[in-house]
Amino acid sequence: MNPSSSSFLFLLVIFLVYSISASAIPVIGDNDVDEGFDPSKKLEGDKDNNNEFTLKVPTLELDDLPLDDLLSFNYYHKRCPDFEAIINRKVHEWINKDYTLAPSLLRLHFHDCFGRGCDASILLNHEGSERTAAASKTLRGFEVIDDIKAELENKCPKTVSCTDILSATTRDATVALGGPYWSLPYGRKDSRISIAKDADELVPMGHENVTSLLEFFQSKGLNVLDLVVLSGAHTIGRTSCESIQYRLYNYKGTGKPDSSIDAKYLNFLQRKCRWGSDYVDLDATTPRKFDNMYYKNLEKKMGLLSTDQLLYSDPRTSPIVGALADTPSVFKSQFGVSMARLADVQILSGKGEGEIRTNCNYVNSY
């Protein structure tokens, strides 16, 4: 069996386990419990009943849905019908002017979800907020969110949360550079709290080992497949030379470069990053295109961040890297799945949780 076939089979097994695990989790609402249920009774469709199992799915009109404790794909269908159309139009207007905003918005969403959770706390702009943290100093795209929010407030006042705006904007920005589309349920609320310490201590910054990353992802309800797939966001965007110079000259105090970097790529980086204030593409091959070249680069020892390259050398993640390098269509489809899972991390949706800000920069004053 050639390496390409084995990688594909490995990924197929991972996806099967992933799908079975997800389908085994019941979705239970407050009204889903049958008070007359007796676990000692046989269910319709048991072998002894010799009946075919049938599943009756109740249908609900949008107006019948509770306003709290529930995300819905139709949440804004009547509340703000033009919600997604406005976001899509605005995103394309901004990215047509500056394509680098697409990866910046993706990074902004990651920083938000990896802090306190997906609650738009990264957008709050006050002294001591996540936005003012050292880890956030190179974040961009706030003006895009502000522009979208202003139009939505004009169209649907006090209706659309900044959290939902950031999630949908990230999706449309990814699509604009050739990435996949993924459906999102809506109804998230915005946090009233934002602490710089959360950003500085929680958000991965590219210096961690794989064990630390796996533990962090697991703490957010994500898994090893999500880790490797979401790292593929580095197929677009760039980082400051300052963040990688330690790999180029004095890696771990050895006085030598990181030996895991390809020699030709190292030479390029040392010439490109003489100054820490300069920027370098995360994907040296196709930096403006959302594709699976990121994984192919890792196989060639061309991972820019040490956390990227470690995914290829660590036995827990390297088979997934190889599989995604061989199957670009699978990477794109799974990226959408993992992004939808990310958008559900530690959200605020219950009664009394969070608020819908009228200005994404500040908590409501009323």
Backbone phi, then psi, for 355, in 5-degree steps?
Answer: -155, 175
Q: Is 291 annotated as a binding residue?
A: yes
Q: Is 121 annotated as a binding residue?
A: yes
- Cα(200)–Cα(141) distance, rounded to whole angstroms? 19
- Around 363, how many Cα atoms within 13 Å sit in the side-chain half-sphere? 11
Six token digits for residue 283: 């994907």
Enumerate residues 6+ apart whose C-beta is below 8 A from 301: 260, 261, 262, 265, 309
* CA angle, 245 then 251 then 253, to 5°: 120
- 52 in Cβ contact with 106 (< 8 Å): no
Q: Is 100 annotated as a binding residue?
A: no
- 105 in Cβ contact with 114 (< 8 Å): no
* CA angle, 108 then 114 then 118, to 5°: 75
Q: Is 130 annotated as a binding residue?
A: yes
Q: Is 234 annotated as a binding residue?
A: yes
* CA angle, 201 then 281 then 146, to 5°: 60
Q: Is 109 annotated as a binding residue?
A: no
Handedness of CA 351, 144, 213, 332 (dihedral sign): positive
Bridge partners (DSSP) of residue 281 are 238
Backbone phi, then psi, for 275, in 5-degree steps?
Answer: -115, 135
Q: Is 35 annotated as a binding residue?
A: no
Bridge partners (DSSP) of residue 359 are 362
Which CA distances in Å does 22 have to 41, 223, 229, 341, 345?
27, 12, 17, 11, 15
Q: Is 239 helix (H, G, I), strand (E, B) or coil?
A: strand
Residue positions annotated with a catalytic role:
111
- 110 in Cβ contact with 120 (< 8 Å): no
Backbone phi, then psi, for 319, in 5-degree steps?
Answer: -65, -35
Q: Which DSSP string do the residues of 78-102 spell out, in sequence order? A: TT-TTHHHHHHHHHHHHHHH-TTHH
Q: Is 328 annotated as a binding residue?
A: no
Q: Is 112 annotated as a binding residue?
A: yes
Q: Which residues are annotated as a binding site for heme b?
A: 234
Q: Which residues are annotated as a binding site?
A: 112, 117, 119, 121, 130, 204, 234-235, 283, 286, 291
Q: Which residues are annotated as a binding site for substrate?
A: 204
Q: Which residues are annotated as a binding site for Ca(2+)?
A: 112, 117, 119, 121, 130, 235, 283, 286, 291
